[in-house]
Amino acid sequence: MLCRMDDILKKATQEQYGVAAPNVWNLETIKAAVGIAEKLKSPIILDYGEGGYEENIFEVAMIAKHYGENASVPVAINLDHGETFKGAVRAIKAGFTSIMVDRSSRPFEENLKDTKELCKIAHAADVSVEAELGHVGVGEEYADDNNSFTKVEEAQIFVKETGVDCLAIAVGTAHGHYAGVPKLDFERITQLRNSLDIPLVLHGGSSTGDEALQKAIKSGISKVNLFTDLSDKAIDFMKKMLEIESAKQINLIDFYDEGIKGYSSELERYIRLFGSDNKA
């Protein structure tokens, strides 16, 4: 069934489990993600990144809506890192059930103003909104520096003024591959959880470590975004296929299917790790 993302996350917050939000970008990844969620009886959030793919947003939405509406588990379709007003509005028109407004690199007041404006538009269309406060950087530039971490006092003001439905927080993760070992600020997660009445989101879930992710969920995280580890596992499966003696006989269909098997296996592992299996 197709759902607003905040409806999925409210239950996760109450019952203290995490919901996986894998990046999807085509029929195969959408079908795989929903299929694994149904297999495990888990809710799922399909994250579609605005960057580089905006021209395909209506086609992807059509596919995602088809699988979401016919799924036996709750499915949300979320615009990931919506950095433009145009992209957010297009996602709403396309049928996304949630949008992420990413103004995290802007000054606090500008982030608040833009998020508040888009919340009004999205809520009028019955679409939930995720925003980011603090800044989650890129893994190659990772540094153990809490200057960009989400501040509790600012988060309270931000949530109250914008009316946002869930908040992505900066607590030590990064996007992509890490240059160092991530160190999450679990105390900050707990403080934010106790100070806010909306679900919390963790970006950069890949390569953070199983123990750290489980502790983050116990501390108050309800949604974990995933891409790099899913992509890496897909590539691993494809590489191994090329190493077999009959590799010359491999066709593109089988080769791509092998990558999707890798993507699916890693997503299944994470769903079990987050504890959302049998929660649909």
* Pair 181, 164: CB distance under 8 Å: no
The verdict on whether residue 203 carries a ligand-binding annotation is yes
Q: What are phi and psi of 93, to 5 degrees?
A: -65, -35
Quote the number of domains for the chain.
Answer: 1
The verdict on whether residue 225 carries a ligand-binding annotation is yes
The verdict on whether residue 66 carries a ligand-binding annotation is no
pLDDT at position 245 is 62
229 annotated active-site: no
Question: Is 62 part of a structural domain of the chain?
Answer: yes
* Pair 20, 179: CB distance under 8 Å: no
Question: Is 280 part of a structural domain of the chain?
Answer: no
Q: How distant is the alpha carbon of residue 268 from its chain centre?
A: 15
Which residue bears the tokens 């979401």? 68
Question: Is 16 part of a structural domain of the chain?
Answer: yes
pLDDT at position 139 is 47
**What is the phi-psi region of residue 41: left when phi exceeds 0, alpha when psi lies from -120 to 50, beta otherwise?**
left
Predicted structure pTM score: 0.92
Q: What is the pLDDT of residues 11-29, one digit of tens each?
A: 999 999 999 999 999 999 9
* Pair 18, 213: CB distance under 8 Å: yes
Question: Is 38 part of a structural domain of the chain?
Answer: yes
> What CATH number has the domain bearing residue 71?
3.20.20.70
Strand 98-101 and strand 221-226: pairing?
unpaired
Going by C-alpha positions, the residue among 14, 4, 1 that lies closest to residue 199 is 14
* Pair 142, 174: CB distance under 8 Å: yes
Question: Is 250 part of a structural domain of the chain?
Answer: yes
The verdict on whether residue 175 carries a ligand-binding annotation is yes
The verdict on whether residue 194 carries a ligand-binding annotation is no
Q: What is the pLDDT of residues 102-154, one digit of tens each?
A: 998 899 999 999 999 999 999 999 999 999 998 776 544 545 556 789 999 99
Alpha-carbon distance of 79 to 56, in angstroms, equals 12
**DSSP code of residue 176:** S
Q: What is the pLDDT of residues 221-249, one digit of tens each?
A: 999 999 999 999 999 999 999 887 666 78
* Pair 176, 228: CB distance under 8 Å: yes
Q: What are phi and psi of 224, to 5 degrees?
A: -125, 120
The verdict on whether residue 255 carries a ligand-binding annotation is no
pLDDT at position 247 is 64
Q: What is the pLDDT of residues 176-228, one digit of tens each?
A: 555 566 789 999 999 999 999 999 999 988 878 899 999 999 999 999 999 99
Question: Is 19 part of a structural domain of the chain?
Answer: yes
CA geometry: angle at 168 spanning 121 and 101, to 5°? 30
pLDDT at position 3 is 97
Question: Is 33 part of a structural domain of the chain?
Answer: yes
Range of the domain at 191: 5-274
Alpha-carbon distance of 234 to 231, in angstroms, equals 5
Tell me the residue length of the chain: 280
**DSSP code of residue 236:** H
Average model confidence (pLDDT) across the chain? 92
Question: Is 236 part of a structural domain of the chain?
Answer: yes
Could you say which of 6, 7, 47, 80 is catalytic? 80
